[in-house]
Amino acid sequence: MNQSDATIWFIIAALGVGTFAIRFSFLGLFGDRKLPEWALRYLRYTPVAVIPALIAPMVLWPPATGGTPDLARLIAAAVVILVGYVTKNVLGAIAAGAAALLVGLSVF
């Protein structure tokens, strides 16, 4: 890196202040108020949108295989989706997916 230590620490501090300001704007300023029903309805969909966005790159472009899709990971993802849809149990889906990945990595 070509930046000085002072520049790097300034960037870290600025990002910390910015992150604090974003969180304080919701928790500190509006924390004691009830959110409107439309906002609560939209917030219910946040985990459903964020979790697949975090997991999809690890399934489709896994760093462990150099970015090429792997049959074992695709099968494990399909098992997680199927078990989660059928049982509506997050921990059961995670356990089934982990077992499918373990078996898939040993077979394929």
pLDDT of 88 > 80? The answer is: yes
Q: Exposure string (b/e) for 73-93, b if CB count within 10 Å is 16 or more?
A: bebbbebbeebbeeeeeeeeb
Domains of the chain, by residue range, sit at 1-33, 47-107
Q: What is the pLDDT of residue 1?
A: 60
Tell me, what's the pLDDT at 10? 96
Amino acid (one-letter) located at 37? E
The pLDDT of residue 84 is 93
9-27 pLDDT tens trace: 999 999 999 999 998 887 7
CB atoms within 10 A of CB 67: 10
Mean pLDDT of 55-70: 89
pTM: 0.62
